[in-house]
Amino acid sequence: MAQQIADRRDVDFVLHEQLNVAELSKHEKYAEFNKKTVDLIVSEARNLAVKEILPTRKEGDDEGVKFENGEVIVPECFRKPFELLREGEWTAMPEDPEWGGQGMPRAVTMAAAEYFNGANYAFMMYSGLTHGAGKLVEAFGTDEQKKLYLKKLFTSEWGGTMLLTEPEAGSDVGALTTKAVKNDDGTYSITGQKIFISSGDHDLVENILHPVLARIEGAPAGTKGISLFAVPKYRVNPDGSIGEFNDVKCVGIEEKMGIHGNATCTMSLGEKGECLGTLLGDENKGMRAMFLMMNEARLLVGMQGYSCATASYINSVNYAKERLQGRNLLKMLDKDAPAVPIIQHPDVRRMLLTMKVYVEGIRSLLYYVGWLEDKADTVDDEAEKDKCHGLIDILIPIAKGYVTDRAFDVCSLGMQVYGGYGYIKEYPQEQLLRDCRITMIYEGANGIQSMDLLGRKLGMKKGKLVMDLMGEIMVAISAGKVDEKTKAFAEKVEQALNKLGEVAMHLGKTAMSEKILDAFAFSYPFMEVCGDVVMAWMLLWRANVAAGAIEKAKKKDVAFYDGQLKSAQFFCNTILPTTLGKMNAILATDSAIMDIDEASFNG
């Protein structure tokens, strides 16, 4: 059975029927991206993903990355698709063409990214991290740094990483010990060690730029004293040519549960005292620079987890339609009844529908966040721009934390649908589950996402972000109430939204009281119920579109639109009641989590 990646019909539905991305072409910035062009882009991305990248998923996983004689060697099968990505200028799709980008709407890049990452996200990490490094240079680099690095990064001629984590400074970045000493020529001598560096070194490119977080000698302790530096693997001459080795090297790679095709490196800087870097941005402002780039990085991780989920779902649907096992329950007493496809069994349908609602809702959410960036770029009203950016800020913890949690659940169900076959390497489901798991951990573990949502985002701008989000959800609720096909769903989403407002106020007040620890003990459930309401919103929005289209739909589209209504029905009637129960638990804010004596945790 051929492996699949994503449902093109649903991708088109989100782009053209839910978000109407072709409307962006009315703005000068995106004038060339009409519907025809968007469809061509998605088709090209799909072809490249299916024909060239997807075949590398299992082979790259089996072969893995090798570390030999100090060199990091990627799976051989990665080389051709990497060249094709480079030739097609896919690394920096939404960026300025002057620097090697395509100037594409971000909502459209999400569709391409879904195909690419669904095909093999361990492979895509090499170009994804390169794009991230380029964004740091673009935002904070001097004219000279941009001239030396930016186009090389955005075209994937060179690679890029992010050197942040240290053995004793993972999530607590302020504890880092990597040191920078200023030299007379304005450069800095960098010494230290970084761990868990994705794509930290590899042989796909001839040079790699490492944005490095370090503390300048004499700088304040904690995050206030952290600066960001541009540290190339090989020094770069003023004319852009590659110079001598810069004393930054990989000293080992990790053996991991998943993403075997990506190099997770331990990096040593300045072992011989010859590692030089240049300041990227201002002294002691490194964390500020990182926070500005954090939304994009966390959205990418959400896409990585999601891409595993959507591939697992598509595989499961196709398998369930073909796998014959057991009689239909209505004919259990008929010994002569034939075996039927397992998709006829109620519990298999339950699993598939659970997978379906999350895959559809998450696709809409991730594309919507990209669309908000596009909207912010195309509106003149500053208040509207600010609103778009605020909606992105409050949705990012959900788009990373909640999304990757649910993506892993979908992958687990995908294994279950296959039964014993799902657990063996001959089939794709076990790799998708393994690869998905890290997305819940890196780029800020999901517990940190929940703390960010409660501790930072909830109270930002005196609660304006929350109110704006609730206002957007109410738009879908109001639209749903006027159509009998969606009215019941809209009322249930409204009930959940009102309850969520009560929960947010309660938890926000508790977090500002002497019971702050109890509040943060419930930050994770709070992120979960926020995510559930956002999923309900997205599914209601989709159902509203489908309800308006189904009467005039062509015969081949009727089942698709009906499926949107059934998704909203299932989520509102089967999943939202559980969400309301979780909200009641949060409102109770039981203190057992913080009251229990540490000695009671038996080890």
Catalytic amino acids? 443
Distance CA 213, CA 225 (A): 10
Cα→Cα distances 12→54, 369, 557, Å: 21, 16, 12
Judged by DSSP in three states, 424 sits in coil
Single-letter code of the amino acid located at 446: N
Cβ partners under 8 Å of residue 342, min gap 6: 320, 323, 324, 325, 326, 348, 417
User: How would you classify the pairing of strands 66-68 and 276-279?
Assistant: unpaired
HEC string of 206-218? Answer: CCEEEEEEEEECC
User: How would you classify the pairing of strands 159-160 and 71-73?
Assistant: unpaired
User: Which burial class, exposed, middle or buried, applies to 598 when counting CB atoms under 10 A from its CB (0-12, 13-18, 19+)?
Assistant: exposed
| Closest C-alpha to 133, from 149, 144, 147, 110 | 149
Distance CA 195, CA 178 (A): 12
Distance CA 416, CA 348 (A): 9
Q: In 4-105, where does DSSP find H-type helix? A: 8-12, 35-48, 56-63, 79-87
Distance CA 438, CA 545 (A): 35
What is the DSSP annotation of 112-141? HHHHHHHHHHHHHHHHHHHHHHHHHHHHH-
Terminal-to-terminal C-alpha distance of the chain: 46
HEC string of 80-106? Answer: HHHHHHHHCCCCCCCCCHHHCCCCCCH
Distance CA 301, CA 405 (A): 11
Cβ partners under 8 Å of residue 333, min gap 6: none
Cβ partners under 8 Å of residue 494, min gap 6: 474, 477
CB 134 within 8 A of CB 150: yes
Q: What angle do CA 560, 562, 564 make, to 5 degrees?
A: 75
User: How would you classify the pairing of strands 208-216 and 179-182?
Assistant: parallel
CB 589 within 8 A of CB 514: no
User: Which burial class, exposed, middle or buried, applies to 272 when counting CB atoms under 10 A from its CB (0-12, 13-18, 19+)?
Assistant: exposed
Judged by DSSP in three states, 64 sits in coil
519, containing H or E segment: helix 516-521
